[in-house]
Amino acid sequence: MIVGDVVRAINASFLHTTKELIHNVKHKGPEYLLPEIICYAVFPQTWTSVALGFATNRLVAGRAMCVAYTVILQIDFLYYVYFNGRFAYKCGKEGENIDQFLEDIASREMASVEVAQKRYGLID
């Protein structure tokens, strides 16, 4: 992995999150303030498929060990998780399984999109 891969993953993550926040300002009115975005964690994660953590059917995804950067942004009481710059899911800081979520960040092994709903109790 090179520095450019990290920068691209972080930029894509911030771009997606910023677009969502701007959408909220447009629809909730000018009194809605843009919150601070914190880059909570960035780390390489190894996946057993080229689909990273997005495949629901491993037969379709293609089998190859693949390393991609996981980026986790914190905005207010939410964590936004991205795999290789692509939005995967968000998790609330006050969720029932937040301890498991934080343990997975510490171990640098985030759950796939398919597993995360059960494991972390995600926010839609």
- Quote the pTM value: 0.79
Mean pLDDT of 65-90: 89
Closest by CA to 13, choosing from 87, 90, 91, is: 87
Mean pLDDT of 37-64: 75
CB 83, CB 109: distance < 8 Å: no
- Block residue for tokens 């993550």: 13
Residue 80's DSSP bridge partners are 73, 90
